[in-house]
Structure formats: structure tokens, C-alpha cells
Amino acid sequence: MLDYVNLISCLNYNGSVQGKWTTSANWNWIVDPLNGEKFIKIAEVQGTEIKVSDFFAKLIQRVSPKSYQQALAEVQVSQKFLENFCGDQVRFLARSFAIPGNHLGQMSNGYRWPYGPVAIITPFNFPLEISLLQLMGALYMGNKPVLKVDSKVSIVMDQMLRLLHACGLPAEDLDFINSDGVTMNKLLLEANPKMTLFTGSSRVAEKLAADLKGRVKLEDAGFDWKILGPDVQEVDYIAWVCDQDAYACSGQKCSAQSVLFMHKNWSSSGLLENMKKLSERRKLEDLTIGPVLTVTTEAMMEHMNNLLKIPGSKVLFGGEPLENHSIPKVYGALKPTAVFVPIEEILKSGNFELVTKEIFGPFQVVTEYSEDQLDLVLEACEIMNAHLTAAVVSNNPLFLQASGFLLGWVSAFIFIFVILKLVISVMKPVRCRLALSLKKYLGDLSTVQHMLGFEQGPRALHKTTGLGQPVTREVQASELRKPSKLSGLATERSYMTSVPCPRTGRFLPPLNLWRFPVSKEV
């Protein structure tokens, strides 16, 4: 409520402000009639906010070792989530829909409806963010959740629940359990929740899917890849991002970088040297590298030694246990490690399962490929099972197109071209004049050539229609050796034949798009 006495006392007769504003001791919160009423205060900006954020960040560090900045980022993400769902946003989550039927009087209406009794099981690596976001989502929609956090880190959510209760969350709205996995599994089987949300290992996820007869939503393991394209740029920044993606939180993230496919152009750029320097800066004192809670040092060293048995493999950096520490042997303590494995060896049946085994720690595999080995990279990414996150580092649209990531769009255009070619094939008397007309709209000579059936190359097209210029293989080869620029004049590109761009005169290499399989995944 506004304090009108203080407001009037601060105004002169002409309406200007005099003195300073004073805070009234009589104001209180306006009751919000919406579903989000109980959660309005949680993300409130007050003078104590920094103290509360610092408390949770340091509490996370106590149980899930990570740097202060990583822990604080987890707190800040949680705060932003709560801010986003204050007030009306909770009500908007329950937006319904209506679809007209196929005859008069028929209509389909869909309503968001709570499951009722639900279960949430969360892991150790993000003790606040994952648990809080999933819990609040269940509460927003009117469910009655039982929350089970990994017992090693459950004190974080214990403190957050106390904060929620202090902000008005009714104590009876959720249940919080501390137990081992066997006990929780028994609870799920006997309580029979309508839906269970599980975040954790693939092994437990598969067991829950069978035990709960499919009434479960899963986020399990991820063997995550990153592809560096042929255009080398911002080497220092790319090295920093690779270091963060692979070794932040000591690699204990399901989104951590597991394998790096590096184009050969990056080999001489100093990328690996920069990654090594950055990894060596990590230390136990500030927890930029720390204990691995689910994999022992011996297990990680054994996996590394098995990789080194593959021909051509080598340790790029790391590969040694941490020194001068008191970490118990039940946990892992390994320096940030990268092992190089040749791309042609990765795809061999005896090696692929070993190379793509997820190590939930500071460990990654690095490999190198050339232009003619891009098929191997795509094949490796296609047959990996644990897809969660991925990255393609390139500003070169031709590389993105050639690597098949834009194949859906390209396939659509190819389909149109094929249909046009079938129609045009019955119009032989007007092919040359049609070529001139198509040139006006398409611009790309080789597209015109291929559509109209001129299979002898640009020389024949020039001879017949006056379009294009003869291109020799020597000139073509010399142009292909020039590095492609990421900026400048626009280039036009054929999808089958090497031709000069009509406006810029530059030559572009051919694309054989038919060799890339269309992925079944969207």
C-alpha cells in the first residue's frame, strides 16, 4: 500500500520533490490472486540478496566441488527462473487450446491438468538448479511431488525448502526424502506415482523405465561432441570455450564436451597448446579442478590406458593423478586430460564402444579430420547413442552445407530441381532460350546447366547459349587451394559442378550432396 502521508510531505506546492524519500513501516504486500502468489517473494531484490546468494554458492561448493563462479552461476540461474515465473507466468503455463472439428458442432478442447502424485529424482552435480527448477515446475501445475536428491548433496535443497517455507510455501505441498537408491525404488513401486522425473545415469534410467512401465521422463547420460570447421578464427576464445566445456565442474556435467573433432587446419593454429595452458591453470585451491564423485582415479587411468592401446593414440596433456591432496580413494582425482585418437581408428568396431564410453570426469577425446574424412565424422556422430548436447564451430556456410547439417533444406531444393528437369526434358526446342531466362532469375550457371541437361560442363553451356566461360582444371585447382573468406562479396554456388560466380568471378569447389545420408532424427 502507498504511504500517502510520506508522499505529500515530500512534495512542494509546485509538485517538485524536496528532501528525500522515506520508507514506510506500514506497507505490506498486495495479495496476488494468481497461482504464483506464494512464490512472489522468493526472487525479491533486497539488501540481503547478495548474502543469500553467497550462502548458497558456498554451500554448493561444500558438497559438489566446483569453482565459486560455477556455483554462483547455478544460484543465479535459479533466481532468474523464479523471477520469470512470478505472477501471471504461472497461470500462463496452464494455457489450454481448442481445435474445430470436421463437422458442425464438433470441437476438441485440451486442458493442462496436473498428474497429481509425482516423484522427482535429481543428481549430485547441480544440487540446487536441477532440483529447484523441476520441483517448482511440478508445484506450479498443482502436483504433489516427492523429492529425492542425491544424499551427498541433499543439504542444499534442505536449505532451499526452508527458504520456500519462509516465503509462504505450505509445508504440506511436497515431501522431501533422504534415502539410498534401493529404498527410493521400493517407494516408487509401492506408491505408484502418476509420473516420475529422473535425471541421472542411463543404467538407472533403463531400470526405472521398466519398473514404472513407462510412466517416467528421463534425462540421462550424454556423450557430447564438438566439430571445429575448416575456418580457423578466434583461436584463444575457442580454446577457452573448449576448456570450459570439457573441464568446468571437473567434467561432471552431462553436457560436458566428450569428444572434439578438429579440422586439420586447427593443428597449426596453437589451439591444443592453448587448451593445455588453460588446463594447467586449474588447481584444487580454487576448485577449478576437484574430486570426481562417481569415478575413481584408477578407473579413469584404466580407461586412458585402454585408449592408448589404439594405434596412433597419444596423451595430449594431463593423464596423471592430482598431487598433494587428501581426497579419499573412493573418489577420483585426475588432472584435466585429453587423449588423441585417429579418426579412422575410432570407427573400427572394436574401438568405437571404448572411445565413446562416457567418463564423468575431466576427460575428453580429441581427433583430427580432413576434407575427405568428413564422412567419417558424420558417421561417428550418427551412430553415437547418448545424444544430449553438440556444437558445430564454423562461420563457413559452405562447410555447414557440405557437412549435412543443412541437408534438409538442400534436399528440398534438389527435389524442386529434379522435378523441373523432368518437365524441361520434354521441351528440347526451347532449352537454350529457357536457359537464358533461368539465368536471369537463378544466376548460378551450373544450376541452369544441370537442370537443362548440359552434361559437358561450362564450356558446352557457353558454346550453346553464350553463358559462362571455359574453365580449366589447372585454374580450378589453383583456386581451390586459396582459403575461403568469411566476409566480402556474396558467392553463388552450384550443387554439382565447379563454375565461376557470375558477379565475383570466384571459383567454388563441387558438392556431392548425394553421399550424405539423411538423418532420421529431427
- Does 290 lie in the same domain as 195? no
Residue type, 173: D
Q: What are phi and psi of 485, to 5 degrees?
A: -90, 150
pLDDT at position 202, please? 84
Q: Has residue 442 been placed in a domain?
A: yes
- Does 163 lie in the same domain as 21? no
Alpha-carbon distance of 4 to 6, in angstroms, equals 5
DSSP alpha helix (H) spans, 36-142: 49-63, 68-84, 88-93, 129-140
- Does 280 lie in the same domain as 149? no
The single-letter DSSP state of residue 394 is -
Domain count across the chain? 4
Catalytic residue at 254?
yes
Q: Has residue 123 been placed in a domain?
A: yes
The pLDDT profile of the chain, 522 residues, written as one tens digit per residue, is 444 444 444 444 444 444 554 454 544 444 444 455 555 555 555 556 678 889 999 999 999 989 999 999 999 999 989 888 887 888 888 888 899 988 888 999 998 888 999 999 999 999 999 999 999 999 998 899 999 999 999 999 999 999 999 988 998 999 999 999 999 999 999 999 999 999 988 889 999 999 999 999 988 777 889 999 999 999 999 999 999 999 999 999 888 999 999 999 998 899 999 999 999 999 999 999 999 999 999 999 999 999 999 999 999 999 999 999 999 999 999 999 999 999 999 999 889 999 999 899 999 999 999 988 988 998 898 888 877 888 899 888 878 776 654 444 434 444 444 444 454 444 444 444 544 554 444 444 444 444 444 434 433 433 333 444 444 444 444 444 444 333 333 333 333 344 444 445 554 444 333 333 334 443
Q: Which residues share a beta bridge with 118?
A: 145, 195
What does the radius of gyration of the chain's CA atoms come to, in whole angstroms? 30
Q: Considering only CA atoms, which of 128, 131, 121, 125 is closest in space to residue 74?
A: 128
- Does 413 lie in the same domain as 384? no
Alpha-carbon distance of 492 to 513, in angstroms, equals 16
Q: Has residue 400 been placed in a domain?
A: no
Strands (E), 300-386: 314-317, 337-340, 363-369
CA 72 to chain centre: 20
Upper half-sphere CA count for residue 47 (Cβ side, 13 Å): 0
- Does 245 lie in the same domain as 209? no
168, 201, 219 - which closes a domain? 219
pLDDT at position 413, please? 44
The single-letter DSSP state of residue 135 is H
Alpha-carbon distance of 201 to 107, in angstroms, equals 43
Q: What are phi and psi of 155, to 5 degrees?
A: -65, -25
This model's pTM is above 0.75: no
Alpha-carbon distance of 411 to 234, in angstroms, equals 32
- Does 419 lie in the same domain as 336? no
CATH number at residue 123: 3.40.605.10
Alpha-carbon distance of 235 to 266, in angstroms, equals 9
- Does 277 lie in the same domain as 153? no
Neighbours of 161 (CB within 10 A): 18
| 268 CB-near residues (< 8 Å, 6+ apart) | none
Q: Which of 86, 254, 381, 501 is catalytic?
A: 254
Maximum Cα interatomic distance, the chain, rounded to a whole number of Å: 92
pLDDT at position 38, please? 52
- Does 210 lie in the same domain as 157? yes
Q: Which of 37, 83, 167, 219 is catalytic?
A: 219
- H or E element at residue 437: helix 431-442
Catalytic residue at 44?
no
Q: Has residue 198 been placed in a domain?
A: yes
pLDDT at position 241, please? 94
pLDDT at position 39, please? 54
- Does 384 lie in the same domain as 237? yes
Q: Considering only CA atoms, which of 130, 343, 308, 139 is closest in space to residue 219?
A: 130
Alpha-carbon distance of 33 to 172, in angstroms, equals 20
- Does 233 lie in the same domain as 210? no
Q: Has residue 399 been placed in a domain?
A: no
Contacts by 177-184 with C-beta closer than 8 Å and gap 24+? 177/146, 177/147, 177/148, 178/148, 178/149, 178/151, 178/154, 179/148, 179/151, 180/151, 184/121, 184/148
| 213 CB-near residues (< 8 Å, 6+ apart) | none
CA 463 to chain centre: 51
Provide the sign of the torsion angle of the four alpha carbons 432, 434, 439, 440, taken in this order.
Answer: positive
- Does 129 lie in the same domain as 233? no
Q: What angle do CA 275, 277, 279 make, to 5 degrees?
A: 70
Cell of 213: 512401465
Q: Which structural domain, as residue segments, surrounds residue 379?
A: 224-394
Q: Has residue 24 been placed in a domain?
A: yes
